A and B are shown apart, each in its own frame.
Chain A
Amino acid sequence: MIPLRVTGLTVSYGRVAAVRDLDLNIAAGEALALLGPNGAGKTSAVEAIAGLLPKRAGRVELFGEDISGLTASAIVRKGLALVPQWRELFPTFSVEETLVAATGAAQGRSPKPLEEIYALFPVLEERRGQLAGSLSGGEQQMLAIGRALVTNPRLLLLDEPSAGLAQGITRSLIQAIIRIRDSGVPILLVEQNMEIARAIGSRCTMLAAGSLAWEGTMDEAIARNEAARVYFGTH
């Protein structure tokens, strides 16, 4: 059964359509990169898939089950976890409390033990008692990913995890995401940086102005410099 199948997804804010008629598929064990310039509609697409934004039209199937009409909390309980672009942490929660707070979403599956999260991000264990609001940007990103992982997801959506982070941190984040991918969790990664996207994903989908612009393998995309065409309209 295919982990994620999105067909005809349309998202709009009032009369402005941010995503138009988008189709996406993620195969088992696969990491798909969702690329596109600022304002292309990437965040809108993943948030609509995760249930945080209402869908104007379209259908989302998670392992063959239609989840189009479910709320965000129901979707995460079904096993689709999102690490949102703005992280959406709880500033007054400690690191550990944040992770514990998400355990309830692993209904039916067993939540991932906190030790596994701490093994993936040792810095979180060091700071387990610290308030989320006082963490650095990189630490907050790790906490956001950790929080998603605690729900023991069957599919993980990551929205620009590297945004605004220094190179060193970014490198260790990439390593962590690769380990998650290799553990068998399919990933949909929203990224601006082609190198990072290639490190994690094997295939990519490019969005421009809300519509699908190009689809193919990461290698092909880089070889043909598809990004430049999609981003700047050049060829």
Chain B
Amino acid sequence: MAELALVLIAGAKFGAIYALAALGLVVVHKATKTVNFAHGAFAMLGAFSSYLVVVHWQWPYWMAYVLTPPLIGVVAALIEFLILRPLRRADMFTVVIATVFLGIALSEAFRLTYNTELLAVPGMFVGMPFVFHGVFMTQETLWVIAGALVICVACVLLFRYGRLGRGMRAMASNVRGAQLCGYSVDRVYMFAWFLGGAMAGLAGVFVAPVSGVSVELSIAIISAGFVAGVIGGFDSLKGAILGGLLLGVSESLAAAYVSSALKNCISFLLLFVVLMWRPEGLFPETVARRV
């Protein structure tokens, strides 16, 4: 029992980070119909920003959480403005390829300037772990799971009830209708990228002590976030969160009870099964009569 709990907690920890990553991806996709394959690179930059704040400049840890999201958000919004806006009229394929290469370029730029295998970032909390019937839970683990999920929920609420969130949903639902309500395509797109970038940056801050800062982080985050998003339906924020948790926990369970070799392929297995069995995802948005 204790063993199962340990496995589930470990899975939830990665799952919460996947959820955060998937959420940012889905927010951008929902509002702009673009899958941003540079999302993982944004998360890597977020983790790097966390490294700079915590290790390099030795500032208080909370500043990493406060400074990183707006910083990466601005980077993402600038990229939208400079690179994707001119491609607005281009076909979907061109835009997706542009984001793929953007991600590679950001990763390589990082690799060139910081020529090390990995930058380590300590955890936010170093106190004694909680022990309950032989189940260990460190403060850091609790913080990652709870913190990431709280932010996920906050994001869902912002998207659901906030004015900017409403604008993004309107844009996602009907671009012409949204414009007739006074929402500017340019501004909503830019804000969606800002929000997506901020979420990626935050995911990076959460993941930095768990995985360290490396170029591999960029790939790990984008692939997990993408799979979690697709599992969840890719247009549903709740789906992205549940998809992320489901992915993290299944990875952990499969590795512990089937084979550790299964860990990496479980995500693609899940993706495959979901696409075959429920192509609309496990948690699609409520479908309404078309207008």
Contact = CB atoms under 8 A, between A and B. Distances in A.
Direct contact of A and B (CB under 8 A): yes
B169 A76 contact: no
B290 A133 contact: yes
B60 interface: no
Contact of B180 (A82, A100, A134): A82
A134 B182 contact: no
A92 B176 contact: no
B181 A101 contact: yes
B182 A133 contact: no
Contacts of A77: 182
A76 B180 CA distance: 6
Nearest to B173: A90
B153 to A, nearest CB: 20
A88 interface: yes
Contact of B183 (A73, A82, A148): A73
Nearest to B187: A73
A102 interface: yes
A231 B181 CA distance: 34
Interface string B139-154: 0000000000000000
A88 B177 contact: yes
Interface in B171-212: 173-174, 176-186
A77 B176 CA distance: 15
A74 B185 CA distance: 10
**A: contact size bracket:** 35 or more
Contacts of A151: 181-182
Contacts of B290: 91, 133
A170 B169 CA distance: 31
Given A88-B177, A90-B173, A73 B288 contact: no
A88 B174 contact: yes
Nearest to B184: A73
Nearest to A82: B180
A207 interface: no
B56 interface: no
Interface residues of B, number: 24
Given A84-B176, A97-B166, A91 B288 contact: yes
A225 interface: no
Interface string A117-138: 0000000000000011110000
A194 B183 CA distance: 35
Contacts of A52: 176, 179-180
B163 interface: yes
Contacts of A102: 180-182
A50 B166 CA distance: 22
A106 B185 CA distance: 17
A88 B291 CA distance: 7
A91 B176 contact: no
B113 interface: no
A71 B179 contact: yes
A7 interface: no
Given A73-B184, A101-B170, A89 B291 contact: yes
Q: Which of B167, B170, B179, B285 has the most CB of A within 10 A?
A: B179
A104 B180 contact: no
Contact of A76 (B182, B285, B288, B289): B182
Given A73-B182, A100-B166, A90 B177 contact: yes
B115 interface: no
Q: Which of B166, B181, B186, B288 has the most CB of A within 10 A?
A: B181
A107 interface: yes
Interface of A: 50-52, 71-74, 76-77, 81-82, 84, 87-93, 97, 100-102, 104-107, 131-134, 140, 147-148, 151
12 contacts: A50-B180, A73-B182, A73-B183, A77-B182, A88-B176, A89-B177, A91-B290, A92-B288, A101-B178, A132-B291, A148-B180, A151-B182
